Structure 1
Amino acid sequence: MPLSESCEISHPSPPIILLGASNLTRDFPLILRLLQSSLKSPLDIYTAMGHGRSYGNWSRVLYRALPGITRCELWDAFPAAQAGNTTPLALLTDIGNDLIYGQSTETILSWVEHCIYQLSNRQAQITITLLPEASLARLSSWRFELTRRMFFPKNPASLADLKSKVRDLNQSLTALADQSQISVVPAPQEWYGFDPIHYRYSQRARLWKTILTQWGLPELSGMTARYHWLDSFYAVTQLTPSTRRKWGKLLQTPQPVRILDEGTRISVF
């Protein structure tokens, strides 16, 4: 996916907004291939993603930290009004990270509502994926404690508490979607394997088709796209976000960070 020279390009397809964390980051190239196959190129993509990403607070993985999705620069960069009849297409996924960080379901829901408010003001067609409640129901106590102690030692939550919060948050998200005419995609157990929160390798092409068809893209059902192992590294190595901290130093990167040969622009926040 080489970078081409910046120029004025007509974008016949609707703007696309993708909000999420590790699943979105790891599978972004697959999602891009599916969208390029079902929408007219070039595309205009705005995304706030990243491993461990929080919807509301700064979050850190190793030496890199990113601002909360509600606080990032995407909302300033994405135009408030669109010319013509193009309806922006928006996806909110990977919503459960903040439970591991110890946030309450009420706080997380308020962050999601903030994103929905911003997107609704731009008349976007919104899809939300629910948390993997069925997958977490199979999680054993020792696996949960091992993960918690290694990565989230300051969060004293128990497995029972986490399962209860996941159930409550899913119910709240479903109710919110019903009120706002938002598409909701459940997270069935077969999408996950030993890892209870990240999608199984063998399921990724199929499940992303299921998610993206909520935007009314029936062509996706017949598309042939496969996940490649190198996809996991693309977003990390090629899609530098506009604002990040690296070893504590605040860094800025102009956007769009990538302009592909056929004109697709990718802006990362």
Structure 2
Amino acid sequence: MTIGFPLIMEALRKVLPDGSEVFAAHGHGRSYLRWSSVLHRSLPGIVECQLWEDLDNRPAAEKTVALITDVGNDILYGESSEPLLASVRECLRRLQRHEAKTVCVRLPISRVSRLTARSYWIVKNLFFPGPTRPWSDVLDTAKSVDAGLLRLSAEFQAATVEPPAEWYGLDPIHIQKSQRPDAWQRIFDHWGLVERWPFAPVPQHTSIRWWRLRPHERRIFRTSQAHPQPVLAQREGVSLWLY
């Protein structure tokens, strides 16, 4: 989601009414369960981050929509299906308290199942350095998590989107740039907010500005940093709370 975050936020600012609030927990390689690191930056697990407490402390919204995606990251950190699905279930339970209309993006099984063991090794060590499990074990876990995500979505009455293989290129886990507008259109359609989302190319300098916004908590070179939220506060327009 991080790569597409500028595209998403620019569209949300055009669609959502003034006074809307966006709560986002994302980041390259983000874990649902625990702290995760990419290069020099570390972020807390989604299920344990401050987002949930801050969301509960806000006034009740007239309408809440939510997105759960990138569930497969933890598999590449060596996590098994049971604790991962338990963390997703907890997120869905918390969203249910807010009567959120939730969309869950399934794992890209149709694409990753085409990977060879060698391709998996390259992708794993490029994006998720560390101990490498056998490809057959990882694929079995991915299929188990995807099936569990379907069950949880049915339990919590969340919509699901199955990513088609054509969304992906050589990189099997990040949506191709050319496919992103159509992909996010298909995902956000389930919210029923607008008929056609105004996704448009985002200039590089604008994308960088979105990516550089500071979350509530992170570590840079093992030094803890905190930043008050919302990171983007607007009386007229959309405010952003980042975690």
| TM-score, normalising length: structure 1 | 0.83
Unpaired stretches in structure 1, ≥5 consecutive residues? 1-23
Question: CA 1:90/1:151 → structure 2, altered by over 3 Å: closer, same or farther?
Answer: closer
Match of residue 219, structure 2, among 245, 255, 260: 245
Aligned residue for 1:219, secondary structure, equals coil
Q: In structure 2, how many angstroms separate the alpha carbons of the residues matched to 1:128 and 1:120?
A: 13
Q: CA RMSD in A?
A: 1.9
Structure 2 counterpart of 1:175, from 151, 159, 171: 151
User: What corresponds to 1:100 in structure 2?
Assistant: 76
- Please state if 1:46 is matched with 2:23: yes
The reply to whether residue 160 of structure 1 matches residue 130 of structure 2 is: no
**Aligned-partner Cα distance in 2 for 1:81–1:152:** 35
1:54-96 deviation per Cα after TM superposition (whole angstroms, max 9, x unaligned)? 0010001111100000110011111367446x12111001110
Q: Is the 8 A contact 1:26 1:233 kept in 2?
A: no
Residue 29 and residue 146 in structure 1: after superposition, are their counterparts in 2 closer, same or farther (change >3 A)?
A: closer
AA in 2 matched with 1:113? R
* Mapped contact 1:125–1:182 kept (Cα < 8 A): yes
TM-score by length of 2: 0.92
Alignment partner for residue 208 of structure 2, among 210, 233, 255?
233
| Equivalent pairs, count | 242
Pairing of 1:68-217 with structure 2 (within 5 A): 68-79=45-56, 82-83=59-60, 86-150=62-126, 152=128, 154-217=130-193
Give ranges in structure 2 of 5+ residues lacking alignment: none
Given that 2:17 and 2:238 are in contact with CA atoms closer than 8 Å, whether structure 1 keeps it comes out as no
Structure 1 residues 162 and 235, CA gap change in structure 2 (3 angstroms): farther
Measured after TM superposition, the shift of residue 246 of structure 1 is 0.9
Q: Confirm or deny: 8 A CA contact 2:108 2:165 kept in the other structure.
A: yes
Distance 1:29 1:149, change over 3 A: closer
Q: Aligned partner of 2:26: which letter?
A: M
